[in-house]
Amino acid sequence: MGHTGKASSSFIIRIWWESNEEANKTFWRGRAEHIQSGEVFYFETPEDLIRFMMQCLKEVPAQSRAEGKGSASGRE
């Protein structure tokens, strides 16, 4: 399979309900793992998840350039 020249990143995201019976509230919680770096992030809002993912994605182009050096295709 050839290298397409496009940077990509993978995440595993798990979302679940939690409840606080004392406060009589239920809310979403989640865990995201960035596969390339192994970084794990717990979140409570979609905005927090997006912020984490955007931070990880900012780092992808630099990683891809470093990995692309010395590739089997010889293309830079």
Per residue in 16-47, pLDDT (tens digit) is 999 988 888 888 999 999 999 999 999 999 99
pLDDT-derived band at 63, boundaries 50, 70, 90: low
Where are the domains positioned within the chain?
Answer: 11-61
The residue-averaged pLDDT of 44-55 equals 96
pLDDT-derived band at 64, boundaries 50, 70, 90: low
Write 8-13 long-range contacts (CB < 8 A, 24+). 8/60, 9/34, 9/35, 9/36, 9/56, 9/57, 9/60, 10/34, 10/35, 10/36, 11/35, 11/53, 11/56, 13/49
More confident position, 54 or 71: 54
Q: Quick one: pLDDT at residue 67?
A: 56
